Amino acid sequence: MNPTYTLLIVDDEKQNRTLLTELLKDEYHLILAKNGIQALDRAIEHRPDLILLDVLMPEMDGHAVIQSLKNDDRTKEIPVIFVSALDSTESEERGLELGAVDYISKPFSPSIVRARVRNHIQSVHQRRLLEQLALLDGLTEIPNHRRFSQVYAQEWRRCRRSASPLSLIVVDVDHFKMYNDSNGHAAGDIVLRQVAQTLKAAVKRSGDFVARYGGEEFVILLPDIDQNGAEALAEQVRAEIESLCIPHVDSPVSPWVTISLGGVTQIPPESQDEPELFCIADAALYQAKRQGRNRVIWSIPTEPCIKPVVS
CB of 72 to Mg ion, least distance (A): 23
Kindly tell me the burial class for residue 111, based on how many C-beta atoms sit within 10 Å of its own C-beta (0-12, 13-18, 19 or more).
Answer: exposed
Closest to Mg ion by CB, 56 vs 178, is: 56
CB of 41 to Mg ion, least distance (A): 18
Q: Which residues, at least 6 apart from 208, have a Cβ–Cβ distance to it below 8 Å?
A: 220, 221, 222, 223
Is 131 known to be catalytic? no
Site pattern 92..131 for Mg ion (x: CB under 5 A): ----------------------------------------
Residues 276-295 that bind Mg ion (CB under 5 A): none
Buried b (16+ CB within 10 A) or exposed e, 145-159: eebbeebbeebbeeb
Q: Which H/E stretch holds residue 53? A: strand 50-54
54 binds Mg ion (CB under 5 A): yes
Stretch that binds Mg ion, among 10-18, 236-244, 259-267, 275-283 (CB under 5 A): 10-18
For the CA atoms of 34, 36, 38, 44, the dihedral, rounded to the nearest 10 degrees, stands at: 130
CB of 32 to Mg ion, least distance (A): 13
56 binds Mg ion (CB under 5 A): yes
Q: Total residues at the site for Mg ion (CB under 5 A)?
A: 4
In the sheet where 166-173 sits, what is the strand order? Answer: 209-214, 217-223, 166-173, 259-266, 296-299
> Which residue among the candidates 216, 231, 242, 276 is catalytic per the annotation?
216
Q: How far apart are CA 227 and CA 232, in angstroms?
A: 8
Closest to Mg ion by CB, 9 vs 288, is: 9
- DSSP assignment of 239-267, as one string? HHHHTT--B-TT-SS-SB--EEEEEEEEP
CB 50, CB 81: distance < 8 Å: yes
- Provide the CA 286 distance to its chain's centre, in angstroms: 29
Site pattern 12..51 for Mg ion (x: CB under 5 A): x---------------------------------------
Closest to Mg ion by CB, 59 vs 73, is: 59
CB of 83 to Mg ion, least distance (A): 9
Q: How far apart are CA 296 and CA 217, in angstroms?
A: 14
Closest to Mg ion by CB, 8 vs 281, is: 8
Closest to Mg ion by CB, 86 vs 124, is: 86
CA proximity to 241, closest of 229, 253, 224: 253
CB of 76 to Mg ion, least distance (A): 24
Stretch that binds Mg ion, among 4-12, 26-34, 260-268, 282-290 (CB under 5 A): 4-12
- Contact residues: Mg ion, CB under 5 A: 12, 54, 56-57
Which amino acids are annotated catalytic?
A: 216
